[in-house]
Structure 1
Amino acid sequence: MPSAASALWYVVPGHAELRSEPLAAPGDGHALVRSLFSLVSRGTERLVFTGQVPQSEWQRMRAPLQAGDFPFPVKYGYAAVGEVMEGPADIRGRHVFALHPHQDWFVAPLSWLTALPAGLPPRRAVLAANMETALNALWDGEALPGQRIVVVGAGIVGLLVAYLCARLPGADVTVADVLTQRKAHAEAFGARFCHPDALDDSADLVFHTSAHPSGLAAALLACAHEATIVEMSWYGEKQVAAALGGAFHVRRLRLISSQVGHVAPAVRARWSHGRRLAKALELLRDPALDRLLDQDIAFHDMPAACPALFAAQATGLTAVIGYSEAPKAG
């Protein structure tokens, strides 16, 4: 095994670097993993990279295997897929998903590793955390067959929500976004697409994922009488005005939050985090989901790529970090 690993650290606002750190041999209950791919969570990691995680959330925002502390320097990330190189015989050589930051080799507790189901390619498996978020949101919103469902925001999570909703029998699903290039993704998943300004007020259930105040306003306007809006966006330090005057109360609208840190209350008695993650991985078996992985970046190129990747005007969906032949940090 190598004696050191290379990891991506966000060190000051707008700057990242690769750092070398010692790599200990795995002890009992642990395994050594060689990273194959990891996913950049563009929305959340943009806030980390730019130093916009509010101090009140520094502890709650910690990733499970994060190193360092907010605001900086911090080693952050939660969507890694790799191959177990050392560990118990029943998992050695298996491809696993781990809630680990971006790092080429790492040692992790076995309890934090989930073996990929048969037929799931490692590159697509990096979507597991996002699929968990989408699945949890459907549970929070109590999505049902036959509903008129609107998703405002066609980012990676919004499109996964639309993908799941479109598979509910009889559901009528529309995705709304200002970026018309997202139309092909929505339609490929069985949903219609429109600009937010074109929405009417007929939705039974609305998911908001755009992380922009105008998106929340569009979500509220898209609601029919007694509809539910599931707010999935996280705004960091930004204060967001919501249009709770006008007809909000007389139409008896319900605005709720959804966040993946806790299993949705509707199913929590029977579903653990582990069971939910296993189901999310199963749901990723569909090759149609590969279209969401629209950018590949070599691990050693990440420090240089981060400013453009997290720029406010960046239009790509997400980025997959590849670890083959990545040189060690100095």
Structure 2
Amino acid sequence: MQRAPDTPSTETMARAWWVTGAGKGEIQETPLADPGVEKQVELVTVQALYSGISRGTESLVFHGRVPGTEYTAMRAPFQAGDFPWPVKYGYANVGKVTEGPEDLLGQTVFCLYPHQNRYRVPASAVTPLPKGLPAKRAILAANMETAVNGLWDGAPAVGDRIAVVGLGVVGLLVAWLASRIPGTRVTAIDTNPERQAVAEQLGLTFSSGSGADDHDMVIHASGHPSGLETALGLAGQEATIVEMSWYGDQLVPAPLGAAFHPRRMTLKSSQVGQIVPSRVPRWDYRKRLALALELLQDDTLDALITGECRFDDLPKSMARILIDGRDTLCHRVVF
């Protein structure tokens, strides 16, 4: 393992954000590397620059609302601890390689790692940022991966009429990507009027309510059961509704009466943890992440990062971000 010039010798401990109880968390001393990592042949040590808070999933984790049946499925790649808590959780970390193979040394990389100031992982777990992508924006990579996977599941076509219900980061990215397909008519829908300005910055047509039931595809990403009802009401004959929301332990009524059967609608789930089966012969997780990073090179996507705080401020800021931050999209943590 090589070390970048002017960097100190590797220490054994780092500082990480841990969820310690319902709505509680703190920064704790934690091992620099997860158990078992030191047995890997090629390792890199990364000094974190930024991380991103994924409000939807991290809010469920923060409040202990991950269902017991999904404890294994919902583990983050480098999670430490077990649900409900204490748990070190997160998956949007951008940093600089300070030790590792020569081809990675000094590079700025993305890693599906929690909020931690330094970490050591297998070299295969980091992806160098493409030239021209600012580190500050690269924290959106995991969200972009989710958006890509959702569109792979939905498989929109040229000229489709598409509605996206729920304009969090993922919903906005889905709508933005869909709008770049030639001939599509994309409507971005959210009950929060504050989302209109961001949607229009991305070149999207915004609506605060329901619309015509003539859509070929409706993508639901609001995280609220009422949004699913809205999505079903927008779907036309033979339409596909892609459900991208994850509700944790919340029961969700699905209004499958009325026009659902006469219009022969398809209600389809999408989850980023698995690549769409039709893409598996040609794609893997590393290629999908590289694609997500390439797609983030448009400067207009900076509009999705609406808050920022220092890492040391997380104990007093996280509750505000995850509970009261209705107008927050992606929140950036600065190391």
User: Which bin holds the TM-score, normalised by the shorter protein?
Assistant: over 0.9
2:196 equivalent in structure 1? 183
Judging changes above 3 Å, is the alpha-carbon distance between structure 1 residues 34 and 313 closer, same or farther for their aligned structure 2 residues?
A: closer
Query: 2:152 and 2:233 mapped to 1: Cα distance?
Result: 23
Contact 1:172 1:191 in 2 (8 A): no
32, 36, 44: which one aligns with 1:23: 32
Aligned residues: 322
TM-score (norm: length of structure 2): 0.94
**How do 1:159-178 residues align onto structure 2 when only pairs under 5 Å count?**
159-178=172-191
**TM-score relative to the length of structure 1:** 0.95
Structure 2 match to 1:96: 109
Q: Which residue of 1 aligns with 2:282?
A: 270
Q: Do the aligned residues in 2 keep the contact of 1:196 with 1:215 (CA within 8 Å)?
A: no
Shift of 1:74: 0.1
2:259 alignment partner in structure 1:
247
Counterpart code for 1:314: R
Aligned-partner SS, 1:228: strand
Please point out which of 283, 286, 300 is paired with 2:298: 286
Matched residues in 1 for 2:108 and 2:183: separation?
A: 36
How far apart are the structure 2 equivalents of 1:12 and 1:188?
38
- Preserved CA contact (<8 Å) 2:220 2:231: yes
- Worse-matched range after superposition: 167-176 or 260-269: 260-269
For the residues of structure 1 that align with 2:255 and 2:329, how far apart are their CA atoms? 28
Shift of 1:2: 3.9
Which residues of structure 1 form unaligned runs of 5+? 324-330
Shift of 1:269: 1.4
1:169 aligned counterpart, secondary structure: coil
Q: Does 1:321 align with 2:321?
A: no
- In structure 1, the partner of 2:23 is 14
The yes-or-no answer on 1:32 pairing with 2:45 is yes
Counterpart of 1:158 in structure 2 is 171
Task: Provide, for residues 206-233 of structure 1, a one-character-per-residue CA deviation record: whole Å limited to 9, x for no partner.
Answer: 0000011110000000011110000000
Task: Tell me which amino acid in the other structure corresponds to 2:18.
Answer: W
SS at match of 2:286: helix
Shift of 1:82: 0.2
Asked if the contact 1:162–1:189 (Cα under 8 Å) also holds between the matched residues in 2, the reply is no
Report deviation, 1:28.
3.4
The offset of 1:310, in angstroms, is: 1.0
> Match of 2:92, as an amino acid?
A
Of 318, 321, 325, the residue aligned with 1:306 is 318
Specify which of 115, 119, 132 is matched with residue 119 of structure 1. Answer: 132
Aligned partner letter, 1:235: Y
CA-CA distance at 1:321 after TM superposition: 0.5
Q: Does the aligned pair in 1 maintain the 2:194–2:327 contact within 8 Å?
A: no
Which secondary structure does the structure 1 equivalent of 2:318 belong to? helix
State how far apart, in whole Å, the 2-side matches of 1:168 and 1:33 are: 37
In structure 1, the residue matched to 2:7 is: none
How many percent of aligned residue pairs carry the same amino acid?
50
Correspondence for 2:3: none
| Alpha-carbon distance between aligned partners in 1 of 2:221 and 2:31, rounded to the nearest angstrom | 39
Unpaired runs of 5+ in structure 2? 1-9
Aligned 8 A contact 2:59 2:322 in 1 = yes
CA distance in 2, matches of 1:190, 1:205: 19
For the residue of structure 2 that corresponds to 1:158, the secondary structure is helix
- How far the C-alpha of 1:21 sits from its partner, in A, is 2.1
- 2:221–2:245: 8 Å Cα contact kept in structure 1? yes
Question: 1:326 is matched with which residue?
Answer: none
Q: 1:107 aligns with which of 98, 105, 120?
A: 120
Distance in 2 separating the partners of 1:138 and 1:318:
20
Give the CA deviation at 1:312. 5.5
Look up the match of 1:208: 220
Residues 313 and 79 of structure 1: CA distance in aligned 2, closer, same or farther (over 3 Å): closer
One-letter code aligned to 1:6: R
